[in-house]
């Protein structure tokens, strides 16, 4: 049985910018189709309802590089025994998020 998680990468700061609002919206819509899904994200993505959300270990105003977030997401996925990850990111950033 698949145990899914979503990794949502911010695209700039703060959380009120359109790109981060849209990333949160896409993540919320994905959650509607996947039961018992966990989310790993950044504070600048904002609130993602109806899910267990874990935030990357970053300080406000000092976002982590993409690679460090990806590494944190891998550790998080292993810790929770996830077998499938969905990546949500802005289109210009997506290739790097998946690569890392």
- Tell me the per-residue pLDDT of 1-47, one tens digit each, with 9 for 90 and over: 678 899 999 998 887 889 999 999 999 888 887 767 899 999 888 76
Q: pTM of the entire structure?
A: 0.89
Give pLDDT, residue 63. Answer: 80
- Tell me the per-residue pLDDT of 41-78, one tens digit each, with 9 for 90 and over: 998 887 666 668 888 988 777 788 999 999 999 999 99
CB hemisphere CA count around 4 (13 angstroms)? 13
Between the alpha carbon of residue 23 and those of residues 10, 26, 27, 71, 93, the distances in Å are 7, 5, 6, 20, 12
């Amino acid at each position: 049985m698949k145990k899914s998680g979503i990794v949502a990468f911010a695209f700039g700061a703060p959380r009120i910018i359109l790109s981060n609002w849209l990333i949160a919206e896409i993540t919320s819509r994905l959650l509607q189709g996947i039961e018992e899904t966990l989310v790993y994200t950044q504070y600048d993505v904002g609130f993602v309802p109806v899910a267990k959300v874990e935030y990357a270990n970053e300080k406000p105003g000092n976002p982590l590089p993409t690679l460090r977030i990806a590494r944190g997401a891998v550790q998080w996925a292993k810790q929770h025994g996830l077998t499938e990850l969905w990546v949500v990111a802005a289109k210009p950033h997506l290739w790097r998020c998946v690569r890392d």
